[in-house]
Amino acid sequence: MELLTNPIRTYAWGSTSAIARVQGRPVPSREPEAELWMGGHPSAPSRLIRDGAEHGLDALVAADPAGELGASVAAAHGARMPFLLKLLAAETPLSLQAHPSEDQARTGFAAAEAAGLAAGDPRRSYVDPNHKPELICAVGEFSALCGFRSVERSVAVLAPVVSAVPALKPLLDGLRLTPDGGGLRTFVAGLFALPDADQVAVAFADACRAVIGESPDYRLAVELADQFPGDIGVVLALLLNHLVLAPGEAMFLPAGVLHAYLHGVGVEVMACSDNVLRGGLTPKHVDVPELLRVVRFEVMPPEPFPAVEAGPGVRVWAPPVPEFVLTRVVLDEAGGRASLAGDGPRILFCLEGAVTVDDGTDPAELRGGQAGYVSAGHRDVTLTGTGTVFQATTGSE
Protein backbone atom coordinates (compact mmCIF):
# COMPACT_ATOMS: atom_id res chain seq x y z
CA MET A 1 0.00 0.00 0.00
CA GLU A 2 1.15 3.52 -0.79
CA LEU A 3 0.29 6.38 1.59
CA LEU A 4 -1.63 9.29 0.13
CA THR A 5 -1.48 13.01 0.79
CA ASN A 6 -5.00 14.35 0.33
CA PRO A 7 -6.34 17.87 -0.32
CA ILE A 8 -8.97 19.55 1.85
CA ARG A 9 -11.69 21.64 0.20
CA THR A 10 -12.55 24.72 2.27
CA TYR A 11 -16.17 25.48 1.37
CA ALA A 12 -18.19 27.88 3.53
CA TRP A 13 -20.55 25.16 4.79
CA GLY A 14 -17.72 23.11 6.27
CA SER A 15 -16.65 22.53 9.88
CA THR A 16 -13.72 24.08 11.75
CA SER A 17 -13.38 21.00 13.95
CA ALA A 18 -14.54 17.70 12.38
CA ILE A 19 -11.83 16.98 9.79
CA ALA A 20 -9.09 18.55 11.90
CA ARG A 21 -10.07 16.37 14.87
CA VAL A 22 -10.01 13.18 12.77
CA GLN A 23 -6.52 14.10 11.52
CA GLY A 24 -5.27 15.05 14.98
CA ARG A 25 -4.68 18.71 14.11
CA PRO A 26 -5.42 21.75 16.31
CA VAL A 27 -9.08 22.74 16.64
CA PRO A 28 -10.49 25.05 15.40
CA SER A 29 -8.97 25.07 11.94
CA ARG A 30 -8.21 28.46 10.36
CA GLU A 31 -11.18 28.19 7.98
CA PRO A 32 -14.16 25.88 7.46
CA GLU A 33 -13.02 22.50 6.14
CA ALA A 34 -15.77 20.78 4.14
CA GLU A 35 -14.30 17.78 2.33
CA LEU A 36 -11.14 15.68 2.44
CA TRP A 37 -10.72 14.34 -1.12
CA MET A 38 -9.09 10.95 -1.70
CA GLY A 39 -8.73 9.96 -5.34
CA GLY A 40 -7.68 11.11 -8.76
CA HIS A 41 -10.10 13.92 -9.58
CA PRO A 42 -8.10 16.29 -11.80
CA SER A 43 -9.14 19.41 -9.89
CA ALA A 44 -7.67 18.12 -6.59
CA PRO A 45 -5.86 14.77 -6.91
CA SER A 46 -4.29 12.86 -4.05
CA ARG A 47 -0.51 12.56 -4.20
CA LEU A 48 1.93 9.78 -3.33
CA ILE A 49 5.63 9.02 -3.36
CA ARG A 50 6.75 6.34 -5.82
CA ASP A 51 10.34 5.58 -6.85
CA GLY A 52 11.52 8.56 -4.83
CA ALA A 53 9.33 11.11 -6.62
CA GLU A 54 5.94 12.66 -5.85
CA HIS A 55 3.10 11.96 -8.28
CA GLY A 56 -0.54 12.88 -8.60
CA LEU A 57 -2.77 9.82 -8.54
CA ASP A 58 -4.53 11.10 -11.64
CA ALA A 59 -1.23 11.26 -13.55
CA LEU A 60 -0.20 7.75 -12.48
CA VAL A 61 -3.50 6.31 -13.67
CA ALA A 62 -3.38 8.23 -16.94
CA ALA A 63 0.13 6.93 -17.63
CA ASP A 64 -0.74 3.25 -17.04
CA PRO A 65 -4.48 2.71 -16.71
CA ALA A 66 -4.36 -1.07 -17.14
CA GLY A 67 -1.58 -1.43 -14.59
CA GLU A 68 -3.17 0.84 -11.97
CA LEU A 69 -6.86 -0.01 -12.49
CA GLY A 70 -6.76 -3.46 -14.09
CA ALA A 71 -7.55 -4.17 -17.73
CA SER A 72 -11.31 -4.57 -17.31
CA VAL A 73 -11.76 -1.41 -15.23
CA ALA A 74 -9.60 0.60 -17.63
CA ALA A 75 -11.61 -0.69 -20.58
CA ALA A 76 -14.87 0.32 -18.90
CA HIS A 77 -13.87 3.68 -17.43
CA GLY A 78 -10.83 4.88 -19.36
CA ALA A 79 -7.62 6.35 -18.02
CA ARG A 80 -9.06 7.81 -14.80
CA MET A 81 -9.98 6.67 -11.29
CA PRO A 82 -13.65 5.67 -11.51
CA PHE A 83 -14.45 6.81 -7.97
CA LEU A 84 -13.71 9.60 -5.51
CA LEU A 85 -13.71 9.00 -1.74
CA LYS A 86 -14.38 11.86 0.68
CA LEU A 87 -14.64 12.65 4.35
CA LEU A 88 -17.45 15.23 4.37
CA ALA A 89 -18.23 17.59 7.27
CA ALA A 90 -21.37 19.73 6.92
CA GLU A 91 -21.73 22.35 9.63
CA THR A 92 -24.47 24.12 7.66
CA PRO A 93 -26.65 22.86 4.79
CA LEU A 94 -25.41 22.22 1.28
CA SER A 95 -27.53 23.35 -1.66
CA LEU A 96 -30.59 21.46 -2.85
CA GLN A 97 -29.21 19.57 -5.82
CA ALA A 98 -29.45 16.66 -8.22
CA HIS A 99 -26.94 14.90 -10.45
CA PRO A 100 -27.38 13.88 -14.10
CA SER A 101 -27.46 10.45 -15.70
CA GLU A 102 -24.67 9.43 -18.06
CA ASP A 103 -26.65 10.47 -21.15
CA GLN A 104 -27.69 13.78 -19.57
CA ALA A 105 -24.11 14.52 -18.54
CA ARG A 106 -22.72 13.85 -22.01
CA THR A 107 -25.40 15.99 -23.63
CA GLY A 108 -25.08 18.81 -21.12
CA PHE A 109 -21.28 18.88 -21.29
CA ALA A 110 -21.32 18.94 -25.08
CA ALA A 111 -23.80 21.83 -25.03
CA ALA A 112 -21.65 23.79 -22.57
CA GLU A 113 -18.57 23.22 -24.72
CA ALA A 114 -20.42 24.26 -27.87
CA ALA A 115 -21.63 27.43 -26.13
CA GLY A 116 -18.03 28.34 -25.32
CA LEU A 117 -18.60 28.60 -21.57
CA ALA A 118 -15.30 28.64 -19.71
CA ALA A 119 -14.65 25.89 -17.18
CA GLY A 120 -15.04 28.29 -14.24
CA ASP A 121 -18.06 30.15 -15.58
CA PRO A 122 -20.70 30.22 -12.77
CA ARG A 123 -23.44 29.70 -15.38
CA ARG A 124 -21.96 26.38 -16.39
CA SER A 125 -23.84 23.37 -14.98
CA TYR A 126 -21.70 20.63 -16.55
CA VAL A 127 -17.95 20.57 -15.95
CA ASP A 128 -17.35 17.03 -17.26
CA PRO A 129 -19.25 14.43 -19.32
CA ASN A 130 -19.75 11.97 -16.45
CA HIS A 131 -22.58 11.02 -14.14
CA LYS A 132 -22.27 11.31 -10.37
CA PRO A 133 -24.11 8.68 -8.34
CA GLU A 134 -22.99 8.84 -4.72
CA LEU A 135 -23.32 7.08 -1.39
CA ILE A 136 -22.65 8.52 2.06
CA CYS A 137 -22.17 6.59 5.30
CA ALA A 138 -22.84 8.48 8.52
CA VAL A 139 -19.98 8.79 11.00
CA GLY A 140 -22.17 10.45 13.64
CA GLU A 141 -25.83 11.37 13.32
CA PHE A 142 -26.27 12.72 9.79
CA SER A 143 -29.26 14.76 8.64
CA ALA A 144 -30.32 15.12 5.00
CA LEU A 145 -33.17 15.84 2.65
CA CYS A 146 -33.55 13.02 0.14
CA GLY A 147 -36.13 12.49 -2.59
CA PHE A 148 -39.79 13.48 -2.78
CA ARG A 149 -42.05 12.24 -0.02
CA SER A 150 -45.68 11.33 -0.62
CA VAL A 151 -47.76 14.05 -2.22
CA GLU A 152 -50.40 13.55 0.47
CA ARG A 153 -47.84 14.29 3.19
CA SER A 154 -46.52 17.36 1.36
CA VAL A 155 -50.01 18.76 0.91
CA ALA A 156 -50.81 18.17 4.58
CA VAL A 157 -47.64 20.02 5.68
CA LEU A 158 -48.03 22.94 3.27
CA ALA A 159 -51.77 23.55 3.66
CA PRO A 160 -51.71 25.21 7.13
CA VAL A 161 -49.14 27.81 6.04
CA VAL A 162 -50.09 28.41 2.40
CA SER A 163 -53.29 30.11 3.55
CA ALA A 164 -51.02 32.98 4.65
CA VAL A 165 -49.12 33.04 1.33
CA PRO A 166 -51.67 33.67 -1.45
CA ALA A 167 -49.14 33.26 -4.26
CA LEU A 168 -48.68 29.60 -3.33
CA LYS A 169 -52.36 28.70 -3.16
CA PRO A 170 -52.84 27.98 -6.91
CA LEU A 171 -49.76 25.77 -6.89
CA LEU A 172 -51.00 23.78 -3.89
CA ASP A 173 -54.49 23.46 -5.41
CA GLY A 174 -52.91 22.05 -8.56
CA LEU A 175 -50.92 19.53 -6.54
CA ARG A 176 -54.08 18.42 -4.76
CA LEU A 177 -55.80 17.84 -8.11
CA THR A 178 -52.80 16.01 -9.62
CA PRO A 179 -51.15 14.10 -6.74
CA ASP A 180 -48.48 12.38 -8.82
CA GLY A 181 -45.13 13.01 -10.47
CA GLY A 182 -46.69 15.32 -13.03
CA GLY A 183 -48.22 17.38 -10.24
CA LEU A 184 -44.88 17.59 -8.44
CA ARG A 185 -43.17 18.79 -11.60
CA THR A 186 -45.82 21.45 -12.18
CA PHE A 187 -45.58 22.62 -8.55
CA VAL A 188 -41.77 22.90 -8.65
CA ALA A 189 -41.74 24.64 -12.04
CA GLY A 190 -44.38 27.05 -10.71
CA LEU A 191 -42.23 27.88 -7.68
CA PHE A 192 -39.33 28.94 -9.87
CA ALA A 193 -41.65 30.91 -12.17
CA LEU A 194 -43.10 33.09 -9.39
CA PRO A 195 -42.40 36.76 -10.27
CA ASP A 196 -41.54 37.74 -6.66
CA ALA A 197 -40.11 34.43 -5.47
CA ASP A 198 -37.90 36.05 -2.84
CA GLN A 199 -40.83 37.85 -1.24
CA VAL A 200 -42.92 34.67 -1.37
CA ALA A 201 -40.10 32.80 0.36
CA VAL A 202 -39.98 35.40 3.15
CA ALA A 203 -43.76 35.24 3.62
CA PHE A 204 -43.63 31.45 3.68
CA ALA A 205 -40.92 31.49 6.35
CA ASP A 206 -42.96 33.93 8.45
CA ALA A 207 -46.01 31.66 8.16
CA CYS A 208 -43.93 28.66 9.28
CA ARG A 209 -42.53 30.68 12.17
CA ALA A 210 -46.06 31.40 13.39
CA VAL A 211 -46.78 27.65 13.77
CA ILE A 212 -43.23 26.45 14.45
CA GLY A 213 -44.22 24.33 17.44
CA GLU A 214 -46.76 22.30 15.49
CA SER A 215 -44.36 20.28 13.34
CA PRO A 216 -40.63 19.59 12.92
CA ASP A 217 -41.17 20.49 9.25
CA TYR A 218 -41.94 24.09 10.16
CA ARG A 219 -38.93 24.27 12.45
CA LEU A 220 -36.73 23.01 9.62
CA ALA A 221 -38.20 25.58 7.22
CA VAL A 222 -37.50 28.41 9.67
CA GLU A 223 -33.92 27.21 10.25
CA LEU A 224 -33.30 27.06 6.50
CA ALA A 225 -34.91 30.46 5.94
CA ASP A 226 -32.71 32.03 8.62
CA GLN A 227 -29.66 30.78 6.76
CA PHE A 228 -30.97 31.42 3.23
CA PRO A 229 -33.37 34.39 3.49
CA GLY A 230 -35.54 34.91 0.44
CA ASP A 231 -34.61 31.54 -1.09
CA ILE A 232 -37.59 29.75 -2.66
CA GLY A 233 -35.75 26.49 -2.01
CA VAL A 234 -37.14 26.66 1.54
CA VAL A 235 -40.58 25.82 0.13
CA LEU A 236 -39.15 23.11 -2.09
CA ALA A 237 -37.40 21.55 0.92
CA LEU A 238 -40.75 20.68 2.51
CA LEU A 239 -41.60 18.43 -0.43
CA LEU A 240 -38.67 16.15 0.44
CA ASN A 241 -38.05 13.36 2.93
CA HIS A 242 -36.09 14.40 6.01
CA LEU A 243 -33.80 11.44 6.71
CA VAL A 244 -31.61 11.18 9.80
CA LEU A 245 -28.94 8.50 9.51
CA ALA A 246 -27.53 6.82 12.60
CA PRO A 247 -23.78 6.12 12.66
CA GLY A 248 -23.03 3.27 10.25
CA GLU A 249 -26.16 3.84 8.12
CA ALA A 250 -25.84 4.98 4.51
CA MET A 251 -27.84 6.81 1.85
CA PHE A 252 -27.49 6.18 -1.89
CA LEU A 253 -28.28 8.92 -4.41
CA PRO A 254 -28.72 7.78 -8.02
CA ALA A 255 -29.16 10.22 -10.88
CA GLY A 256 -32.06 12.64 -10.66
CA VAL A 257 -32.76 12.46 -6.90
CA LEU A 258 -33.19 15.92 -5.40
CA HIS A 259 -31.34 16.11 -2.09
CA ALA A 260 -29.42 18.26 0.36
CA TYR A 261 -27.05 17.33 3.17
CA LEU A 262 -28.09 19.38 6.20
CA HIS A 263 -25.67 18.57 9.00
CA GLY A 264 -23.18 15.93 10.06
CA VAL A 265 -20.02 14.05 9.19
CA GLY A 266 -19.91 11.14 6.76
CA VAL A 267 -17.66 9.12 4.50
CA GLU A 268 -18.85 9.58 0.92
CA VAL A 269 -17.96 7.76 -2.29
CA MET A 270 -19.07 8.78 -5.76
CA ALA A 271 -18.33 8.43 -9.42
CA CYS A 272 -15.46 10.76 -10.28
CA SER A 273 -17.47 13.76 -11.46
CA ASP A 274 -18.31 17.26 -10.25
CA ASN A 275 -21.61 17.83 -12.08
CA VAL A 276 -24.24 19.50 -9.89
CA LEU A 277 -27.66 20.90 -10.81
CA ARG A 278 -28.74 23.21 -7.97
CA GLY A 279 -32.31 23.90 -6.91
CA GLY A 280 -32.00 26.31 -4.00
CA LEU A 281 -30.49 26.99 -0.57
CA THR A 282 -27.53 28.56 -2.31
CA PRO A 283 -26.30 31.88 -3.69
CA LYS A 284 -24.92 29.98 -6.69
CA HIS A 285 -26.43 29.62 -10.14
CA VAL A 286 -29.72 27.69 -10.39
CA ASP A 287 -30.30 26.38 -13.92
CA VAL A 288 -34.06 25.86 -13.76
CA PRO A 289 -34.65 24.30 -17.22
CA GLU A 290 -31.80 21.83 -16.73
CA LEU A 291 -32.86 21.01 -13.19
CA LEU A 292 -36.40 20.23 -14.36
CA ARG A 293 -34.95 18.03 -17.10
CA VAL A 294 -32.75 16.06 -14.71
CA VAL A 295 -34.86 15.65 -11.56
CA ARG A 296 -36.92 12.48 -11.16
CA PHE A 297 -40.34 13.56 -9.94
CA GLU A 298 -41.03 10.29 -8.17
CA VAL A 299 -41.93 9.51 -4.57
CA MET A 300 -39.01 7.89 -2.76
CA PRO A 301 -39.23 6.02 0.57
CA PRO A 302 -37.14 7.62 3.34
CA GLU A 303 -35.01 4.59 4.09
CA PRO A 304 -31.26 4.00 4.47
CA PHE A 305 -29.56 2.02 1.71
CA PRO A 306 -29.17 -1.62 2.84
CA ALA A 307 -25.78 -3.05 3.72
CA VAL A 308 -24.47 -6.60 3.67
CA GLU A 309 -22.78 -7.83 6.84
CA ALA A 310 -19.83 -9.59 5.22
CA GLY A 311 -18.17 -10.73 8.43
CA PRO A 312 -17.57 -9.64 12.03
CA GLY A 313 -17.28 -5.85 11.91
CA VAL A 314 -17.38 -5.76 8.08
CA ARG A 315 -20.26 -3.92 6.40
CA VAL A 316 -20.53 -3.52 2.60
CA TRP A 317 -22.68 -1.18 0.51
CA ALA A 318 -22.84 -2.17 -3.17
CA PRO A 319 -25.25 0.10 -5.07
CA PRO A 320 -26.25 -0.73 -8.66
CA VAL A 321 -23.43 1.23 -10.32
CA PRO A 322 -20.07 -0.09 -11.55
CA GLU A 323 -17.91 2.78 -10.29
CA PHE A 324 -17.79 2.00 -6.58
CA VAL A 325 -18.46 -0.23 -3.59
CA LEU A 326 -17.93 1.03 -0.04
CA THR A 327 -16.82 -1.20 2.84
CA ARG A 328 -16.52 -0.27 6.51
CA VAL A 329 -14.32 -2.39 8.76
CA VAL A 330 -14.47 -1.98 12.54
CA LEU A 331 -11.69 -3.73 14.44
CA ASP A 332 -12.67 -3.20 18.07
CA GLU A 333 -10.21 -5.46 19.79
CA ALA A 334 -6.43 -5.35 19.99
CA GLY A 335 -5.15 -7.76 17.39
CA GLY A 336 -8.37 -7.58 15.38
CA ARG A 337 -8.14 -8.89 11.82
CA ALA A 338 -10.19 -8.70 8.62
CA SER A 339 -9.49 -9.74 5.03
CA LEU A 340 -10.99 -7.96 2.02
CA ALA A 341 -11.01 -9.74 -1.34
CA GLY A 342 -10.95 -8.02 -4.73
CA ASP A 343 -8.69 -7.13 -7.61
CA GLY A 344 -9.62 -3.56 -8.62
CA PRO A 345 -7.99 -0.33 -7.43
CA ARG A 346 -8.67 0.60 -3.80
CA ILE A 347 -8.41 3.56 -1.50
CA LEU A 348 -8.46 2.83 2.23
CA PHE A 349 -9.18 5.58 4.76
CA CYS A 350 -8.65 5.23 8.50
CA LEU A 351 -11.26 7.16 10.44
CA GLU A 352 -9.84 6.33 13.86
CA GLY A 353 -7.33 4.07 15.57
CA ALA A 354 -4.24 2.43 14.10
CA VAL A 355 -4.57 -0.31 11.49
CA THR A 356 -1.92 -2.08 9.44
CA VAL A 357 -2.86 -2.73 5.82
CA ASP A 358 -1.09 -5.63 4.11
CA ASP A 359 -1.67 -5.99 0.36
CA GLY A 360 0.90 -8.77 0.03
CA THR A 361 3.74 -6.49 -1.03
CA ASP A 362 4.02 -3.27 0.99
CA PRO A 363 2.37 -3.36 4.45
CA ALA A 364 1.82 0.07 5.97
CA GLU A 365 0.06 1.52 8.99
CA LEU A 366 -2.83 3.93 8.75
CA ARG A 367 -3.78 6.17 11.66
CA GLY A 368 -6.82 8.40 12.08
CA GLY A 369 -7.20 10.74 9.09
CA GLN A 370 -4.73 8.89 6.85
CA ALA A 371 -5.44 7.12 3.56
CA GLY A 372 -3.60 4.69 1.31
CA TYR A 373 -3.81 3.46 -2.26
CA VAL A 374 -3.62 -0.14 -3.50
CA SER A 375 -3.39 -0.61 -7.24
CA ALA A 376 -5.20 -3.40 -9.12
CA GLY A 377 -4.20 -7.04 -8.92
CA HIS A 378 -3.89 -7.50 -5.15
CA ARG A 379 -6.50 -10.18 -4.53
CA ASP A 380 -6.55 -9.98 -0.73
CA VAL A 381 -5.89 -7.03 1.56
CA THR A 382 -5.59 -7.83 5.26
CA LEU A 383 -6.27 -5.34 8.04
CA THR A 384 -4.95 -5.81 11.59
CA GLY A 385 -5.08 -3.58 14.64
CA THR A 386 -7.77 -1.52 16.32
CA GLY A 387 -9.82 1.12 14.56
CA THR A 388 -12.28 1.92 11.79
CA VAL A 389 -11.29 1.78 8.12
CA PHE A 390 -13.33 2.51 5.01
CA GLN A 391 -12.42 0.97 1.67
CA ALA A 392 -13.60 2.28 -1.71
CA THR A 393 -13.13 0.09 -4.74
CA THR A 394 -14.88 -0.57 -8.04
CA GLY A 395 -18.12 -2.52 -8.37
CA SER A 396 -19.00 -5.19 -10.86
CA GLU A 397 -19.74 -4.23 -14.46
- According to DSSP, the β-strands at 314-317 and 308-311 are antiparallel
Instruction: Give the pTM.
Output: 0.94
- Per-residue pLDDT at 285: 86
Our CA angle for 271, 275, 277, nearest 5°, is: 130
Residue 301 CB-density burial (10 A; 0-12 exposed, 13-18 middle, 19+ buried): exposed
C-alpha span between 95 and 90 (Å, rounded): 11
**Peptide bond before 320: cis, by omega within 30 degrees of 0?**
no
Cα of first residue to Cα of last residue in the chain, in angstroms, is 25
Catalytic residue numbers, as ranges? 278
Banded pLDDT at 397 (limits 50, 70, 90): low
- Per-residue pLDDT at 334: 66
Q: What percent of the chain has pLDDT over 70?
A: 99
- Per-residue pLDDT at 379: 81
C-alpha span between 187 and 191 (Å, rounded): 6
Helix (H, G, I), strand (E, B) or coil at 338: strand
Radius of gyration over every alpha carbon of the chain, rounded to an integer in angstroms: 22
Residue range 171-230, pLDDT digits in tens: 999 999 999 999 999 999 999 999 999 999 999 999 999 999 999 999 999 999 999 999
Q: Which of 127, 140, 126, 132 is nearest to 87 (CA)?
A: 140
CA dihedral sign of residues 294, 295, 298, 303? positive
Number of C-beta neighbours around residue 236 at 10 A: 23
Instruction: Judge whether residue 346 has pLDDT over 80.
Output: yes
Residue range 268-318, pLDDT digits in tens: 999 988 889 999 999 988 989 999 999 999 999 889 999 999 999 999 999
Residue range 14-73, pLDDT digits in tens: 999 999 999 999 999 999 999 999 999 998 999 999 999 999 999 999 999 999 999 999
Delineate the domains of the chain, giving CATH numbers in brackets. Answer: 2-145+244-287 (2.60.120.10), 150-238 (no CATH), 308-393 (2.60.120.10)
